[in-house]
Each structure stands twice: as structure tokens, then as C-alpha cells.
Amino acid sequence: MEANKLQIYQIAYDTASLESVQKSGFLLLDNLSNRRPDWYEYWPIRSYLSSHVMDEDAWYGFFSPKFSEKTGLGIADIQAFVDKVTTTKEVDVVLFSPQPDMGAHFLNVFEQAEMFDTGFIQTAKNFLATVGMQLPLEGIVMDSRQIVFSNYFIAKPAFWREWFQLTEMLFAVAENPAHPLHAELTTNTSYSENSHRKVFLMERIASLLLFLRPEYKVAVANTFQFSWSMSKLRQSPEKAYISDALKIAFKELGFPQYMDAFRKIRQSL
């Protein structure tokens, strides 16, 4: 693949992250002004997508400064992986998602968020209903082929356009104090001071699209080789491997015994 077909940006928020990006080989996405810290990575990604015309043949990604720390990957590793997976098949999206235990042991990324922020699923359902999407988020099953944390994915422009269309709907609702969902979306979470629910919902839009749109062709880097969460779930890696495999098997074949086994493993944790 030509080097200029891999448009992978890393976001710089301050002097330290700027120096890190300059040494990394990633392209710089300048957010030094950090005008809207309440939107975390979404603000600079939004600024880019609002002001650039994307090359239809190129891959785009927008990573936080912690990407290499969480995945162990540099730009050359991404290049090599993309070259490998696209040699024999067409691919639209490539995932580099960390925290495999957080993905494996929950039915989906919305249920995972609910564990740390009670009320998250209802807020997500309320927002999706406003854009005409009635979804039973409590029960949908996602595996490592759909799970994305920290926006650690790269994709062709078609996926980014659909992603941006939906995230902009979320942005508009959250930015409107008169909207009935404004208070829910801007409520603080336990993640850190002034970390709003809207950010964690935005980070789950990629997973939602991959679940809803199986026509997108996905390649997945080995999530189990990346950093795990700091929760006690990391203490049972073999159970995480099995749990993800059971979800894949259930989605492929539909046998209820796979889901029964998944729930038994989860109960044991």
C-alpha cells in the first residue's frame, strides 16, 4: 500500500503530547487550543471531518496520545497489518481495540458502560429513538468483530461518513440545552471529573454501526494482545477468550447453549 493511503492521525492536546506525536510517525491532529475539552477526542475529529475532503481509497484513523501505550503498535505495525488483511480480501474497517476483558465479558458495549454508569443504556436508547432507531440495547450481542473502545479503528471514508452523520446528531442534541435529553447526555460519570455521558455514547457509535451494518467488511487485530482493563476481570484471561468465542458461535449458529455457557462464565466472575 502507498504510504499516503494511510492517513492515521494522533491528537495532540499539549506540549508533551505534541512532542510524542512528532516522534511517533503518526500525522498530527492539532488540538492544542483544546476549545472543547468536554468532548475529548470528538472535538478534533469533528473539526477534521468538517473541513477535509477524504480520499476514497485511503484509510483514516484518529487516535489519542495513548494509542501506542494501550496497543503496543506504531504506524509501521498498522501499515503491515492493513497490508496483510487487504492482500486477499476487501476490507472497510480495521479494529485495534484494547481492554479485551471489557469486550468479552459483556453482551455489548452498552451493557459494559451501564456497569460503570447506571442509566447509560436508557439514555442511549432515548437518543437513538430520537433519530428513528428503536433498539433493544440490553440484549444485542457484540463480539470482537464489532467491539470498539477508545475510537481505535481505521476505516475507509464511506464508514466515516455514516459514523459522522450519526455522531453529529448526538452532538446537536447534547449541545441544545432545550432538548429533553440534554441533561442526561451532559451528566457527569465516574470516569473522571467533567466526563459527560455523551462522550461514552459517542465512543460506542462505531460498534453500533458495525452491529447494524454487517455489510461493512471488518478486519480485527488481536485484541487479547493489547492492554487489559484495570478491573478484576483481567484476572481470568482464558475466560475472556472463551466468552468472546461463545458470542461468535452464538451469532453464527444461534444455538442457545452457547449463550447459556457464556452466562455461566460471567456469573463465575
Summarised one tens digit per residue, pLDDT across range 195-237 is: 999 999 999 999 999 999 999 999 999 999 999 999 999 999 9
Q: Are 167 and 245 part of one and the same domain? A: no
1, part of any domain: no
Q: What is the pLDDT of residues 77-129, one digit of tens each?
A: 999 999 999 999 999 999 999 999 999 999 999 999 999 999 999 999 999 99
Q: Are 154 and 249 part of one and the same domain? A: no
Residue type, 126: N
**Residue 256, SS3?**
helix
Count of domains observed in the chain: 2
Q: Are 193 and 85 part of one and the same domain? A: yes
What pLDDT score does 1 carry? Answer: 58
Q: Are 226 and 252 part of one and the same domain? A: no
Nearest to 232 by CA among 101, 124, 72: 101
Q: Are 165 and 262 part of one and the same domain? A: no
d(CA 42, CA 24): 21
Average pLDDT over residues 6-31: 94
Residue type, 182: H
Cα distances (angstroms) measured from residue 240 to each of 58, 103, 183, 226, 248: 33, 8, 35, 13, 12
Q: Are 193 and 79 part of one and the same domain? A: yes
123, part of any domain: yes
257, part of any domain: yes
Q: Are 48 and 152 part of one and the same domain? A: yes
Kindly give, in sequence order, each residue whose CB lies less than 8 Å from that of residue 107, ignoring residues fewer than 6 positions away: 138, 139, 140, 141, 142, 247
Q: Are 31 and 129 part of one and the same domain? A: yes
Q: Are 38 and 110 part of one and the same domain? A: yes
Q: Are 82 and 11 part of one and the same domain? A: yes
In 10 A of CB 50, how many CB atoms?
A: 9
The answer to whether the beta carbons of residues 142 and 108 sit under 8 Å apart is yes
Q: Which domain holds residue 136?
A: 6-235
Q: Are 47 and 139 part of one and the same domain? A: yes
Q: Are 250 and 157 part of one and the same domain? A: no
Stated pTM of the model: 0.95
